[in-house]
Structure formats: structure tokens, C-alpha cells
């Protein structure tokens, strides 16, 4: 009885507080053209609170200290609200209309584009909607429509059964189809939509918004906007919670992941290969639970440290205890677990798939500089001794830095920016003795760490490595730059399948991009040329070791986007 009274009194207090906190809990969707990175640059220039870690996104207007998060410079001539309640505690706003377009001439390229898919040909995504709130209740409805031409392109073409056996060894452990069917692809997603109860600095709600956990700019190892947003319940901070020892941010979610519904390849092989090698994924959705925490020590301004822990399990194998929905809690789960005494580790197909990462970011506004990194594991350790001895088992990592320099090319308030980021998803050397497979694949939850056929983490893909260098000119919200990128495709498959020093599949890309704001419009564009060496690990006839016909391919990737802010 006493507990019920205390709970009732606590809820009344929360409601009372909510009636007096400032209105608006609007968020800036992950991947918003131009604005997503603009606020992060403001922090490097000392114009945004350094206690904002940028490790837990999307960010709210509470943390960005903006009444209108889509107009950070306050240049719009009118309020974008279409309704205000008489008591001043409610309003309705029209959200920007966003239209993204892209074309690939030869093969799929591009990532971190939410509902869009890896596809050849033309593709477009259109989104719009509204945001409404009254007191502590907020509703955001911003659906996304996606259309992809999804043209045919050359996929993997193994010449021997042993080659296909190795290829399917990986394809059977992740839902990442080469091509999303044989027809044009059309989808309508809830997109960046949510309904929330906001008791700042805490928000509770149901959402399908894209999430980004960790400090990466190009890639995040365990949560990014590479795949479509998935429905989830969320408890998260809306701004850093300041304490005597520093600031804390975090998010706890539980949601549903779905399969793509497409086989790994659409080439069509003999009945023998299909039945012998291809193992259809379970016809079941997966429960996802994830936790991210970010901490900024009071004594080291600009430094943030954090961790991410995620679990996935097929719905069929879910239990009904609290520990099944929140596996971070000690035990309590009724779902079967791995028997580590099994030498094959394959007897129990009902165990959780667990991924964990730690990260750090240090921003130094006085130097207009930031450095960051993330380290993740795709497999849990047997015990602490195992973790210490083989810390690199099933590991992946990401590292990046950025520096801004004041310049004067045309007029004042101009900057040059240099940014570098590398991501390594290739398995470590001890995989020869302790097989674990590349990041995101798993023999237990065989859809892998994906949603609707796309990786939830680093968009470069299963087992790939990348290095990216950006150099750009900045003035306010405007940007003009060039990008150099190297992408290595799944070396784990290469070593197992080919083991020919001449046949690594490596993409080299050069691109130019721009972002421009004009009145209520924001325009973005990118033109990228990719030269794929040894495409699909192929080479032609060989007269000698290094005298062979090249099987390279070129791809032209064009992106054009527009956003209109009401």
C-alpha cells in the first residue's frame, strides 16, 4: 500500500513538473541533409555546449538549444507553426518536405540512407509530415516513401561448388541480399515518427525513428541510419543530465526487427546447389533490445566515454520474464543460451546474439578539433580471463578525427575542414583458430544484425573495411568539398574462397559534394566515381602471375536532394 502511494505521488510530481518545463521535445532526425553535421561543427567552433556528446542521437531541440531546429541561423521570416493552443501549452508544426534522389550506373553504392536500398539505377525517397505537442505529450508523424528502379547487375558468379559453399557459409548467417528481388522496389515506411511523454530530461515513447549510437561520422559499429528505422519502445535522455561527477546521456530501447524476404542471390543456380547450400532463414521476426550510455567527466571538458550493448533473439525463442525483454539485467531470462562446452557451438539455435562496444570522443573547441573511436565485439567472452587474453576476438573498430582551420578566400567567416575516418570490420587473426565470422553475421540468429536486409551498424557492409578522407570549404551552413575513399570487400570470404594475392576486391572512389541553403530551401548534391578492382574477386585469363586480364568495373553515383522548410 505504501509503495502504491509513493508511486502515485511520484507520477503526480512528474506531471506537475512537465506542466512547467519549456515546451517542445522535437528531434532532428538522424541523416537530415546539411543540418545533421552543421550542429556538430558548431560545437567545434565553441558555439554549442561541449557537454553534448553527439553519441546518442537523434538530438532534441532541448539539447541543441534551438526553438526551430531546422532554422539554426534564425533566417526564416515566419514561425513554422500552423496552430497554437490558447493556453500556450500546445502547438502544431509542419515538418520540412525532403526529397532525396540517387542513381548508380553499374552496381550498388551508398549507405546511411534509411529506407533506401543498395541498388543499381534510379532511386528516390520522399518524406514530409507534422509535429504536434500539448503539455508533456508530443506526436511526430513523418512517413517515408521509397522507390528504387532496382535494375539487374552482375553478382557473385562462382565456377565451382566449393566456391559457392564458402559463399553460402557467409550468406546463410546474415540477411543481406545482393539484390532486393527482380522487380522495381517500392515501400512506404512510418519513417521518423514517434509518440512520446516528455518529462525533461527524460522521454518515454513509441518510435520508428532512425537511431545513431556512438561518435562516428561515416560509420557507427552498432547503431546507425543505414537500415530503415524499426518500431521500438524507448526511454532516453533529452539533454545531458548534470551531476557532481559529470554529465550523462543514454537510451534504452526494445523493438522488432524484420527480414528482407529475399534470398541471398537472384542468379538462380541448379536445384542441387539451392537445396544443398542455401539454408532459408526462419520465418520469424526478431526481438531487439539495446542500451547506450555516454558519460562526460566533469574534470575533462569535451571528453565523452560510453558503451553500447545489444541483444537479438527470434520471437519463437523469447521467454516471458523481465530478463527476456531487458537482458542487461542479471539473468532472469528464460531463453536458452549457448552451451560453451559444446565443441561445435551449434547445438542450441535459440540463444541470444550479443554485440557490445565501447567508444570515446574528445572535442577541443579551442583548437577546432575532435578525435573519436569505437571498439566492438561480435562474440561474448567465456570469462574475464578469456576477455583479457583474447580481447581482439571477433573485434571491429572505427577511428576518426576532424580539424577546422579559419581561412579567407571570398569573405570573412570561412573555414577549411579536413576529416578522416577508418572502419575495420574484417575478422582478427585469431579467427583462424577461433572461428567467429565477420561482424554482423551469426550462426544462431541467422538473419544477423540487420533490419529488412540492411546492416544496423556500419553501412560499409558485412566484413568490409574502409578509409575515407574529406576536405571541404565551409561558410555558415554552406559547404563544398571532395572525398577520397577506399573500400575493401569482405576479406574473410576472400581468404577462404580465393586466396589469390591478385584478386582482392577493392573499390577506389573520388567524389565532389556540395550543400547550399537559400531562404527556406536546402540543396545537397554529390557526384562520386568508383573504380572497383577485381569486381566480385574476378580476374581474366592469365599468361603469368602478374600478366592477367583485368575484371574491373566503374560506377557513377549521383545524389541530388532538396529540403523545403515551412
- Residue 22: what pLDDT? 45
- Residue 18: what pLDDT? 40
CA dihedral (20, 23, 28, 29) positive or negative: positive
> Please, how many CA atoms are within 13 Å of residue 74, restricted to the half-sphere of its CB?
3
Cell 561448388 found at: 161
CB 114 within 8 A of CB 125: yes
CB 219 within 8 A of CB 459: yes
**CATH second-level architecture of 2-564?**
Beta Barrel (2.40)
- Residue 348: what pLDDT? 41
CB 458 within 8 A of CB 376: no
Per-residue pLDDT of the chain (566 residues; tens, 9 = 90+): 444 444 445 444 444 444 444 446 789 999 999 999 999 999 999 999 989 999 999 999 989 988 889 999 877 656 778 899 989 889 999 999 999 999 999 999 999 999 999 999 999 999 999 999 999 999 999 999 999 999 999 998 877 788 888 889 889 999 999 999 999 999 999 999 999 999 999 999 999 999 999 999 999 999 999 999 999 999 999 999 999 999 999 999 999 999 999 999 876 555 556 678 888 999 999 999 999 999 999 999 999 999 999 999 999 988 888 888 988 876 555 555 555 455 444 434 446 889 999 999 999 999 999 999 999 998 777 677 777 777 777 789 999 999 999 998 888 889 999 999 999 999 877 766 676 678 899 888 999 999 999 999 999 989 999 999 999 999 999 999 999 999 999 988 888 877 777 888 999 999 999 999 999 999 999 999 999 999 998 887 777 777 777 889 999 999 999 999 99
How far, CA to CA in Å, does 1 sit from each of 6, 82, 122? 9, 46, 63
- Residue 390: what pLDDT? 75
d(CA 356, CA 83): 44
- Residue 558: what pLDDT? 98
Cell of 86: 490558447
Sort 414 into a burial class: Cβ within 10 Å, 0-12 / 13-18 / 19+: middle
- Residue 195: what pLDDT? 98
Q: Name the pTM for this structure.
A: 0.91
How far, CA to CA in Å, does 74 sit from each of 67, 70, 134, 282, 295? 9, 9, 24, 51, 31
DSSP state of 17: H
CB 563 within 8 A of CB 31: no
**Coil/strand/helix, residue 485:** strand
SS3 content of the chain, % helix, strand, coil (to 5): 15, 40, 45
Query: How would you classify residue 537: left for phi > 0, otherwise alpha for psi between -120 and 50, otherwise beta?
Result: left
Question: Which residues neighbour 209 within 8 Å (Cβ) at sequence distance 6 or greater?
Answer: 27, 29, 30, 58, 192, 193, 194, 229
- Residue 331: what pLDDT? 53
- Residue 541: what pLDDT? 75
- Residue 272: what pLDDT? 58
Q: For the chain, report the end-to-end CA distance as a whole number of angstroms.
A: 51
Amino acid at each position: 500500500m505504501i509503495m502504491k502511494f509513493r508511486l502515485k505521488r511520484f507520477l503526480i510530481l512528474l506531471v506537475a513538473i512537465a506542466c512547467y518545463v519549456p515546451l517542445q521535445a522535437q528531434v532532428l532526425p538522424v541523416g537530415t541533409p546539411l543540418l545533421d553535421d552543421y550542429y556538430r561543427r558548431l560545437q567545434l567552433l565553441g558555439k554549442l555546449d561541449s557537454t553534448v556528446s553527439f553519441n546518442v542521437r537523434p538530438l532534441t531541440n532541448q539539447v541543441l538549444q534551438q526553438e526551430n531546429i531546422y532554422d539554426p541561423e534564425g533566417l526564416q521570416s515566419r514561425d513554422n507553426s500552423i496552430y497554437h493552443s490558447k493556453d500556450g501549452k500546445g502547438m502544431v508544426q509542419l515538418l520540412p518536405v525532403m526529397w532525396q534522389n540517387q542513381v548508380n550506373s553499374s552496381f550498388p553504392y551508398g549507405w546511411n540512407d534509411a529506407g533506401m536500398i543498395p541498388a543499381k539505377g534510379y532511386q528516390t525517397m520522399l518524406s514530409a509530415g507534422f509535429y504536434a505537442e500539448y503539455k508533456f505529450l508530443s506526436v511526430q508523424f513523418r512517413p517515408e516513401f521509397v522507390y528504387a528502379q532496382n535494375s539487374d547487375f552482375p553478382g557473385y558468379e562462382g565456377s565451382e561448388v566449393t566456391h559457392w559453399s564458402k559463399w553460402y557459409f557467409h550468406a546463410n548467417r546474415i540477411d543481406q541480399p545482393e539484390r532486393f528481388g527482380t522487380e522495381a522496389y517500392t515501400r512506404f515506411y512510418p519513417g521518423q515518427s514517434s509518440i512520446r511523454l516528455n518529462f525533461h530530461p527524460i522521454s518515454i515513447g513509441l518510435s520508428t525513428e532512425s537511431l545513431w549510437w556512438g561518435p562516428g561520422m561515416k560509420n557507427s559499429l552498432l547503431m546507425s541510419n543505414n537500415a530503415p528505422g524499426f518500431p521500438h519502445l524507448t526511454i532516453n535522455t533529452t539533454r545531458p543530465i548534470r551531476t557532481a561527477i559529470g554529465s550523462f546521456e543514454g537510451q534504452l530501447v526494445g523493438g522488432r526487427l524484420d527480414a528482407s524476404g529475399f534470398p541471398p542471390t537472384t542468379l538462380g543456380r541448379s536445384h542441387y546447389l539451392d537445396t544443398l547450400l542455401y539454408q532459408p532463414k526462419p520465418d520469424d521476426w526478431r526481438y531487439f533490445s539495446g542500451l547506450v550510455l555516454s558519460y562526460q567527466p566533469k574534470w575533462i571538458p569535451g571528453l565523452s566515454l560510453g558503451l553500447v550493448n545489444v541483444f537479438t533473439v527470434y520471437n519463437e525463442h523469447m521467454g516471458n520474464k523481465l530478463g527476456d525483454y531487458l537482458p542487461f539485467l542479471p539473468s532472469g531470462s528464460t531463453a536458452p543460451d549457448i552451451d560453451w562446452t559444446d565443441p561445435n557451438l551449434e547445438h542450441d539455435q535459440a540463444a541470444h546474439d550479443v554485440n557490445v562496444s565501447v567508444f570515446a570522443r574528445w572535442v577541443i573547441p579551442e583548437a577546432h578539433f575532435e578525435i573519436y573511436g569505437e571498439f566492438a565485439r561480435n562474440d561474448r567472452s567465456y570469462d574475464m580471463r578469456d576477455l583479457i587474453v583474447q580481447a581482439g576476438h571477433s573485434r571491429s573498430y572505427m577511428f576518426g578525427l576532424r580539424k577546422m582551420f579559419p581561412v579567407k578566400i571570398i569573405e570573412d567567416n570561412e573555414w577549411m575542414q579536413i576529416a578522416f575516418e577508418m572502419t575495420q570490420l574484417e575478422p582478427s587473426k585469431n579467427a583462424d583458430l577461433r572461428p567467429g565470422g565477420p561482424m554482423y553475421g551469426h550462426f544462431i540468429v541467422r538473419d544477423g544484425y540487420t533490419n529488412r536486409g540492411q546492416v544496423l551498424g556500419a553501412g560499409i557492409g558485412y566484413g568490409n573495411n574502409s578509409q575515407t578522407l574529406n576536405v571541404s570549404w565551409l561558410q555558415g551552413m554552406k559547404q563544398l568539398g571532395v572525398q577520397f575513399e577506399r573500400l575493401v570487400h569482405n576479406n574473410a570470404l576472400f581468404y577462404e574462397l580465393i586466396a589469390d594475392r591478385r584478386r582482392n576486391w577493392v573499390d577506389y572512389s573520388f567524389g565532389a559534394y556540395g550543400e547550399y541553403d537559400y531562404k527556406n530551401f536546402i540543396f545537397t548534391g554529390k557526384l562520386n566515381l568508383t573504380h572497383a578492382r577485381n569486381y566480385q574477386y574476378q580476374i581474366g585469363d592469365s599468361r603469368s602471375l602478374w600478366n592477367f586480364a583485368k575484371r574491373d568495373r566503374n560506377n557513377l553515383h549521383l545524389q541530388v536532394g532538396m529540403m523545403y522548410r515551412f
